[in-house]
Structure 1
């Protein structure tokens, strides 16, 4: 009898253990996924190893090899409008940031996020998520529009569009680096490097959040490699001498890698050589040394971002959360063209060599021409180099490793993607405001391998400072301010935008243009000539970018 009792007790214990394991497995299966959104600043299409670069980016390349890359992913071509769409799932005018983070006196151009455009943090927080942010905000300077007031429970970073990477208050004219942590201002400490410190705070937020039994959303918005060119000496040392081949040879190297990676199909064109970029072989020795230093520092800044992405991955694994986390990596716009105007910044403001505290140099157009390989034009322009940038998504067990798809996604698609993934309800009203309907489509069918590109059923549209574009299928129309003439390109075989087909297909131009103007009317777009500030087509945050049309001979890869 005693033996039978022990046997029964043992059987009961085994049953209870089995039920416990089953319950735990079911709990994990039903657990909402975590979401990490990583954005870099002013980084071009080809600046990652997985997109053709020589820059060391092993952690991001690992995410690409274990996840998926898009050949085509679009932003809004400049900082603040991109962030407005990213955070709300709205076109930037609908969100109130149609021009920049300055108020031009109209609802679509008020310079901060309106209440009808709900942020990712507001929606996900209302659906049971912890909401964390570290880095650059740039969608509202007034404290009423800061991150903690728009749904983020934890925030560390800076509010405007740019920041030094070192505290250089002791150097004289340069002010200390002012940061904000949960609505309280503080300064970057001597010896700290901002890219590292942004990550330090993000990791601390993750550690604190781990005490709560809820999923998290982390928005990690690095300002690198945005100007000023400032990097750690050990990172710069890794690239000493690497760029003495110059931009012409480096671009050829990147094109070769892109072809090998499948990013450049054999029938595709590449952008014609930028006639404003001088031939490297025509420069004298001292000029070459100066230019090499710029790219060495730029590469070091991208490298340091990658190192910090590795720290985030390590933390997720330590917390046991990596297997249930979607990571998305993007850039806010293409690399920045234009050449330094010394009256705005550059050598006249430098109090230290390129790369050091006190440097106010930036990459400039000659290297940006390489960063945007194989695309045409630069930040603040609606040709592909201005707003087509890398997109990497990683989600173990859900996204097929090593996949490369066309994609044709846009920033407005991230909000519906995250909400579908999280099982989050998008409210009709929020704190008394009627929410704008979401403008994009979920990317999950593409991420999960059920589609090659987003099926949105309508074109994608852009307008910023008078530059305009629309994309539907393979067709794209684009016009550069101050002109109003549409160009037409077939991006299926001319991603370099070398052949303007507008005169051959006026029916396509007229159809897409009609759709553009209907979108502009319902979105609040205003003729730029009626609202431009002091005659400038770009804010002081960005150097002047040439927008003249190119007509150099076509090249085919």
Structure 2
């Protein structure tokens, strides 16, 4: 009888321990914003009010170096699969160019975070922008998400048709059923509302959760709530030149910009603020007031998210990662330009304005170039990781992470097996877990191979301190030493030809095994256009 009691106790203890182990798997929240520059939040040097993100940064870890794919859809392909975009089927955009690497939607061999984590016992939730293919087979609910609210293409209005009456109704999808934004609703709030609804519903289960919160702010069109715009009246009266210098000073003070690092020189296409007329200044500062207001509302939404986590008693076991999909959008189109589609003032329903190069020059401080370009301004994102249980607060590290590292990190943290529910052989993961960096064991990712980029003929390779980059239609490589020159001010290709040869060889070997095709061979007859971009 005594042995029987001991056996029962042992079995009971084992079962309880097993349940506790399953119940304490970490929750994961991945937050992405759209077209936001490297310096646009307070903890990376901005004057924009982002107290909730700043709190996450103060209590977590920031990377000085974290890389995206320079533009929306290819970034999202890598983020959700851990693959380079060509291997995932989205080497160009959500446009089918007739080859598997450029089919314009995720292939089945590239397993999504949601598919893998669901197979490993997670609830999988998403709210926001998808942009992973227009075919319904590529919609989030068909690629592993239990719950989804948001929109499928690359952009959306933030209001319904509004008082001006010329903006198209905002069509959204909730769990495969279409619905429309109602009068008076603001899309950033609705994305947040649904994310919190999903979390509250999920809290009734014993499963851990994965939430992908994909805000479309501050992507065009510039539309914001009046009360948020009012906070920034007068803030941008001094213009981009002075504000860029202020951001650089704050980045140095914060430790985001190390001593001795060279910053990008003045963009010759961006006019000096003092040379503008009074009317031009009124037009331009209004745009940035709205842009700032859009990010302010995102930060308010993150505050709501943190409050909900605390109410649900999930805050002490949740990893939160925050990034942007690419740098701020360039494309200079003239001082007095007003988009022909506008049917209302900037910021209102019917406005289709965007930030443009003048203010993107500020947003991408201290770097060079913009979205869709492989210089640092196009591919650099802020990166914040918050998980007080495991991550030391207030740390700023070099990092040198990439989107392809997110999937290995989540699977490592969750103890998840990289398996498919279907009878397919998944592409091997090519990134590295960020956990050694997040846990303070090392200052940057030890990957043993370069990082690579190609999109619409723009190319780059990062290997150690060296980076080669070329901008289509040029095929000439530039070379930069990023340890001292992330501003990419001094091309040293002529001084170090052997380094250029080595990285160029690495690039072409990667391109061959990743099915990259020279852009001239697959270039669409009517290329995808970005408003105002050349």
- TM class, shorter-chain normalised? over 0.9
Q: Does 1:31 align with 2:24?
A: yes
Question: What is the distance in 2 between the residues matched to 1:218 and 1:542?
Answer: 31
Does residue 468 in structure 1 map to residue 445 in structure 2?
no
Q: 2:368 matched to 1:401?
A: no
Pick from 486, 489, 501: which aligns with 2:477? Answer: 486
Contact 2:356 2:532 in 1 (8 A): no
* Residues 407-465 of structure 1, C-alpha deviations (whole Å, 9 max, x = no match): 000000000000010000002x5412210000100000000000100000000000000
- The aligned counterpart of 1:307 is 300
Report the Cα distance in structure 1 between the residues aligned to 2:402 and 2:334, rounded to whole angstroms: 32
CA gap 1:236/1:408 in 2 versus in 1, 3 angstroms: same
Contact 1:161 1:541 in 2 (8 A): no
Which residue number in structure 2 is paired with residue 177 of structure 1?
170
Match of 2:361 in 1: 369
Contact 1:162-1:541 within 8 A present in 2 as well: no
What is residue 70 of structure 1 aligned with on the other side? Answer: 63
**1:380 corresponds to 2:369:** no
Residue of structure 1 in register with 2:326 after alignment: 333
Q: Which residue of 1 aligns with 2:213?
A: 220
Q: 1:350 maps to which residue?
A: 342
The answer (yes or no) to whether the contact 1:66–1:400 under 8 Å persists in 2 is yes
Structure 1 residue 277, shift from structure 2 partner? 0.4
The equivalent of 2:487 in structure 1 is: 496
1:26 Cα deviation after fit? 9.0
Verify the 8 A CA contact 1:341 1:543 in the aligned structure 2. Answer: no
How far is the alpha carbon of 1:174 from its aligned partner?
2.2
Structure 2: segments with no counterpart, 5+ residues: 1-8
Aligned length, in residue pairs: 522
Is the alpha carbon distance of 1:156 and 1:341 closer, same or farther for their aligned partners in structure 2, counting shifts above 3 Å? farther
Change (3 A) 1:114 1:25: closer
Secondary structure (helix, strand or coil) at the match of 1:488 reads: strand
Change (3 A) 1:170 1:416: same
Partner residue in 2 for 1:453: 444
Give the match's secondary structure for 1:131: strand
Kindly state the Cα deviation for residue 339 of structure 1 after the two structures are TM-superposed.
2.6
Q: Which structure would you say has the larger Rg?
A: 1
8 Å CA contact 2:66, 2:399 repeated in 1:
yes
Please name the residue that 2:384 is paired with: 392
1:424 is matched with: 416
- Is the 1:102–1:111 Cα contact (8 Å) retained in structure 2? yes
Q: Output the TM-score relative to the length of structure 2.
A: 0.95
Distance in 2 of aligned mates of 1:339 and 1:277: 8
Give the drift of 1:541.
Answer: 4.4
CA distance in 2 between counterparts of 1:192 and 1:486 reads: 48
Q: 1:113 to 1:213 in 2, by over 3 A?
A: same
Distance 1:34 1:229 in 2: 33
Check whether the contact 1:377–1:384 (CA below 8 A) recurs between aligned residues: yes
The separation in 1 between residues aligned to 2:365 and 2:388, in whole angstroms, is 30
SS of 2:502's partner is helix
Tell whether 2:271 aligns with 1:282.
Answer: no
Aligned twin of 2:109: 116
Q: Does structure 1 retain, via aligned residues, the 8 Å contact 2:165–2:350?
A: no
Q: Distance in 1 between matches of 2:483 and 2:80?
A: 30
Look up the match of 1:193: 186
CA distance in 2, matches of 1:396, 1:255: 29
Structure 2 distance, partners of 1:322, 1:499, is 45
In 2 relative to 1, CA 294–376 (structure 1 residues): closer, same or farther, beyond 3 Å?
same
The alignment partner of 2:306 has SS state of helix
Q: Does the 8 Å CA contact 1:69/1:404 hold for their aligned counterparts?
A: yes
* 1:30 Cα deviation after fit: 6.7
Inter-CA distance 261–25: structure 2 relative to 1 (3 Å threshold): farther
Change (3 A) 1:30 1:246: same
Give the corresponding residue for 2:91: 98
Q: Distance in 1 between matches of 2:176 and 2:428?
A: 30
State the distance in 2 between where 1:146 and 1:59 align. Answer: 30
The answer on 1:540 being equivalent to 2:525 is no
Q: Distance in 1 between matches of 2:464 and 2:339?
A: 45
**For residues 341 and 349 of structure 1, do their structure 2 counterparts lie closer, same or farther at Cα, with a shift above 3 Å needed?**
farther
Partner-residue secondary structure (3-state), 1:117: coil
SS at match of 1:297: helix
Separation in structure 2 between the aligned mates of residue 260 and residue 89 of structure 1, nearest angstrom: 34
Q: Does 1:435 align with 2:426?
A: yes
Once the two structures are TM-superposed, the CA of residue 89 in structure 1 deviates from its matched residue by: 0.2
Superposition deviation, residue 276 in structure 1: 0.3
Q: Residue deviations 1:249-284, cap 9 Å, x none?
A: 000110100000011122110001000000111111
In 1, distance between residues paired with 2:245 and 2:162? 42
2:404 — aligned with what?
A: 412
What is the aligned partner in structure 1 of residue 225 from structure 2?
A: 232
Q: 2-side partners of 1:103 and 1:91: how far apart?
A: 17
Match of 1:10 in 2: none
The one of 231, 235, 239 equivalent to 1:246 is: 239
Match of 1:515 among 496, 506, 510: 506
Residues 135 and 223 of structure 1 are in contact (CA less than 8 Å); yes or no, is this contact kept in structure 2? yes
Q: CA RMSD in A?
A: 1.8
SS at structure 2 position matched to 1:35: strand
Query: 1:20-76 CA deviation, whole Å, 9 max, x = no partner?
Result: 9x9689927971000000000000000000000000000000000000000000000
Pair 1:70–1:298, CA change in 2 (3 A): same
